[in-house]
Amino acid sequence: MNRWQVFTNGILKENPVLILVIGLCPTLAVSGSANDAFGMGLAATFVLIASNILISAVRKWTPDQIRIPIFIIIISTFVTIVDYTMHAADPVLYANLGVFVPLIVVNCIILGRAEAFAYKNDVFSSILDGIGMGIGFTLTVTTLGAVREIIGNGTVTLLNYELLNLGEGFKPALIFILPPGAFLVMGFLMAFNRLLIKRKG
């Protein structure tokens, strides 16, 4: 597998949410608006890249039997850093994401990549893998959030700017910003992703 493949793997072919179907808990819970979803994506991407780097860097000194506790310590350290920083930088986003920021610690995508990739590969490849998987996750949750927000609330907000507003006349289908909407939209996204992969051969 060359470097380019390592990088693109996470976006389409091994997209963590749509193909590996891991990390669903934050995906479904915080994708009620594009803004929250994007914030969650960025936070998880940062943790993913940083923990991939560190785990890959210390893999030679890590005794095999205690690798999981070491992964968890490294991951939770970065998650706590993100938690503090987000609380200081953007209190509204912090309040919206709520408990799902600390829960990044147990996000299967991050632990999964640590175990399946970073622990067995060099630092550079691990960075690429982290960025690729991070982009895959961020793209997926943000799309999910944007679709749910348009149908369910008539708006799209990103980075706290309102990009689209269908106005007062639009009657939103509330179910889309409630939990069942997440499952509905995700099903369609999954089908769409399979179609893209099939087309590419």
Nearer to another protein, 93 or 127 (CB): 93
Nearer to another protein, 15 or 157 (CB): 157
What is the closest distance, in whole angstroms, from the C-beta atom of residue 185 to another protein in the complex? 15
Nearer to another protein, 163 or 174 (CB): 174
Nearer to another protein, 25 or 173 (CB): 173
- For the chain, give the DSSP string: --HHHHHHHTTTTT-TTTTS---HHHHHHSTTSHHHHHHHHHHHHHHHHHHHHHHHHTTTTS-GGGHHHHHHHHHHHHHHHHHHHHHHH-HHHHHHHGGGTGGGGG-HHHHHHIIIIITTS-HHHHHHHHHHHHHHHHHHHHHHHHHHHHHHHSEEEETTEEEEE--TT----GGGTSHHHHHHHHHHHHHHHHHHHHHH-
What is the closest distance, in whole angstroms, from the C-beta atom of residue 201 to another protein in the complex? 40
Give contact residues for another protein (rule: CB under 8 A).
32-33, 58, 61-63, 65-66, 69-70, 73-74, 76-77, 80-81, 84-85, 87-89, 91-92, 95-96, 98, 152-153, 172, 174, 177-178
